[in-house]
Amino acid sequence: MKGAASGVVLGGYTFCENGIVCGRIVTLFVYNIGLLLVLAVGAPIWLLRRRWREGLRERLGAGAERVNHALSGRQQVWVHAVSVGEVVAISRLVEELDARLGRGSVAISTTTQTGQQLARDRFGAARCFYFPIDLPWAVHRAFRALQPRMLVLAESELWPNVLAECAGQRLPVVVVNARVSDRSLPRYQRLFRWWRPFLEMLTLVLAQSAEDARRFVSIGVPEDRVRVGGNLKFDVRSPRSTGLVEQLRGQLPNGAKVLVAGSTLEDEERVLLDAWPATCASTPNAVMVLAPRHPERFSRVAALAREKKIPLMERSSWDGGLVAAGSVFLLDSIGELASMYGLATLAFVGGSLVPAGGHNPLEPAQFAVPVLMGPHFENFRDAVELLRGVDALRVVERAGVGETIAEWFSDTNAAAAMGARGKEAFEKQAGATKRAVDAVVRLLSEGNV
């Protein structure tokens, strides 16, 4: 079914007469004008930021040309993951597709600089590139170069020009690990009549949960194209032992109680550091591993710890020496947090004391580590409720963070039991990767693409 069909041609896309009607073409036209205006106004600001300047040529479509050349045109599936969390989630999916389709059959794109760095580390730089800006000519350039047989999107990364390009080329679009967050749902609902034509272009949506499936149908995806596929993150197994983890384990105080605070955001580090002296007073052998979410904040967090006179060691300058009791080990690196949870007595998962939707509590749960989160966890509601349901996760307000940490550090047996329940619940949820891979391979083998 690949190839253009007869119909209206606009902006390099061919729209079937029985497909995208004039109203949809007008919507796309208005969207593109608006996007160009936003880019024109924002360009001076964005170009001053290194994270946006990096990969700019690839964001204009050249990245796909490099990858196609490196893979000698063998790629069949283009998988897109926005940032670090999505890259982690698709790791097993890419491995399984490599095994089923042959290595070199999958090309991977990301949007963020940190996501790109992790993707290149995990999958090899030759097949990883920056996702094109959603401008018609940049998108068309990328698809023309890469010539995939299918596009696989992780979670909810839906762009009108990308979907229109796939529709024009009759390429199936599969959304895996699909979710509609509490924050996104009202926007989709307000723009229902504008978004629905693009959502109708999706071939298959494998939702994380029954609630996510219901939401996709409610915002315009045809019901017969939506299934509950499960959460890919339940299939991701971070290595318990890495070189850094083993080196750090050997340098901790005897019987150390370790708090790993991961993916923290602005203001959360202050809460943790304010509570830390009292924690160390009740647990003298305590150590905190602190991993801010965004690399550009590493230096500010280090300065905050020094301001509070808390002993600090930084991953980037650590010489492998002893880690003192009561100190903070700042993980100012990318891609090492997941395995670091294997050291934890207790984990705090950030993005949850501030209204940012939270981050993934499954990363520590797989290591049988009890989890502490703030009240803002709507982006991971299903995972949080799963762990709360077996009493493996505690939700606290910021005023209770220090007290809860001290409580769990003082009752090691209770904390270990909580962690064991979380790991058991985690392992029972496996299987989403197989369902996603089976669906992708089946669509490819049907001969329709």
pLDDT tens digits, one per residue of 379-409: 898 899 999 999 999 999 999 999 999 999 9
Q: What is the pLDDT of residue 449?
A: 46
Query: What does the alpha-carbon distance between residue 348 and residue 343 come to, in Å, rounded to a whole number?
Result: 13
Same fold, 7-235+431-445 and 243-428: yes
Secondary structure (3-state) at 15: strand
| Mean pLDDT of the 201-228 span | 95
Confidence at 29, pLDDT banded by 50, 70, 90: confident
Model confidence pLDDT, tens digit, residues 326-382: 999 999 998 899 999 999 999 999 999 999 999 999 999 999 999 999 999 998 988
Domain 243-428 bears CATH identifier 3.40.50.2000: yes
**Residues labelled catalytic:** 86
Q: Minimal CA–CA distance to 252: which of 309, 326, 187, 193? A: 326
- 332 with 302: CB under 8 angstroms? yes
Beta-carbon neighbour count of residue 48 at 10 Å? Answer: 9
* pLDDT digit string, tens, across residues 411-429: 999 999 999 999 999 999 9
* Domain formed by 7-235+431-445, architecture: 3-Layer(aba) Sandwich (3.40)
* 8 band by pLDDT with thresholds 50, 70 and 90: very low
Residue 168 has pLDDT above 80, yes or no: yes
Beta strands 328-330 and 226-228 are unpaired
Mean of per-residue pLDDT scores for the chain: 89
CA distance 317 to 330: 10
Domain-wise residue ranges, the chain: 7-235+431-445, 243-428
